[in-house]
Amino acid sequence: MGQGRGPVWLLVPAVLLLLAFFVYPLAGILLTSVTEPAPGIGNFHRFFATGVYLKVFWRTVQVAFIVTALCLIVGYPVAYFLVHAGERARRLLLFAILAPFWTSVLIRSYTWVVLLGREGVVNRALQETGITSGPIQMLYTAPAVYLAMVQILLPITILTCYGVMVEIDRGLVRAARVLGASPVRAFARVFFPLSLPGVTTGAIITFILAMGFFITPALLGGRREMMLANLIEFEVNQTTNWGFASAIALILLAATAAIVLPFQALSKAPNPYRKA
């Protein structure tokens, strides 16, 4: 890196935007949560003292974890393949990954409704090929929500993993092979550890997004699949209990930060093997 700080003033517009449209509203929400309907921390107490809300909280965390794990399991190999693929295959695959990314989350969630419905494409295919005799209930179940969330978040996981993997010096893996390691060993002892910090970042981003998901559980889930964002929406729109809604929003923010920060430390581990 060069010496000195560089033109810091270039950051000023971004910082101003952040202050005006993020910090200021956040302060407003904080204020609302401790003043509406009565001053004090009543809203927070209500959230943690009621079993029902805690259930939604833990379910949100659970869903976010499972979805992130699934995204990694599916996405890591895809990113690995992308790194080692030929030019044409890579471009094709990148396009295939990015194209659905350009469609809105609402549309993508809604197409799952069409696909998974009782009279939808999947059920009809299953029945016509004789695999099942009657329609399977797929919509408004937890698996439907997981499936759709993974499909929506996968491009993000793949691209962040890919971005990191591409930086890894493949010469190192070759060196390991030359020194006698089997392909599996070379991957496990050299490539994989090097990819971890970046993969952790990808996982963190996926997790944060998953925690805040609203449309997918609303469209595809039953009552049991309700997540914190849905609860916030209910309190804003139906009961106009804005103090409580603000409290839930802050709890969501704090919980996400609390879970993510330890992992964030992991991804910053010093890496002596990176390409100079």
Interface region with other proteins, contact rule CB under 8 A, candidates 22-30, 85-93, 230-238, 262-270 = 230-238
Q: Is 52 in the site for other proteins (CB under 8 A)?
A: yes
Report the alpha-carbon distance of residue 183 to residue 176 in Å, rounded: 9
> Which two tokens mark 234?
């209910």
DSSP, res 40: S
214 binds other proteins (CB under 8 A): no
SS3 content of the chain, % helix, strand, coil (to 5): 75, 0, 25
State how far the Cα of 149 lies from the Cα of 103, in Å rounded to an integer.
14
Part of the chain binding other proteins (CB under 8 A), chosen from 95-103, 181-189, 239-247, 263-271: 239-247
- Please identify which residue in 240, 263, 265, 266 interacts with other proteins, judged by CB under 8 A: 240
CB 185 within 8 A of CB 62: no
Which residue in the set 119, 180, 262, 276 belongs to the binding site for other proteins (CB under 8 A)? 119
Residues 122-161 that bind other proteins (CB under 8 A): 137, 139-140
Widest CA span of the chain, in angstroms?
71
Q: To the nearest whole angstrom, how small is the minimum distance from the Cβ of residue 212 to other proteins?
A: 19
Site string for other proteins, 163-182 (x = CB under 8 A): --------------------
When asked if residue 117 is in the footprint of other proteins (CB under 8 A), the reply is yes
Looking at the Cβ atoms of 87 and 128, the one nearer to other proteins is: 128
The verdict on 62 binding other proteins (CB under 8 A) reads no
Residue 222 interacting with other proteins (CB under 8 A): yes
* 51 near other proteins (CB under 8 A): yes
Residue 135 burial class via C-beta count within 10 angstroms: exposed 0-12, middle 13-18, buried 19 and up: middle
Calculate the CA 138 to chain-centre distance.
Answer: 23
Min separation Cβ 244 and other proteins, Å: 12
For 4, the token pair is 């000195």
**Alpha-carbon gap, residue 249 to 208, rounded angstroms:** 13
Q: Could you list the residues that contact other proteins (CB under 8 A)?
A: 50-52, 55-56, 113, 117-119, 137, 139-140, 222-224, 226, 236-240, 242
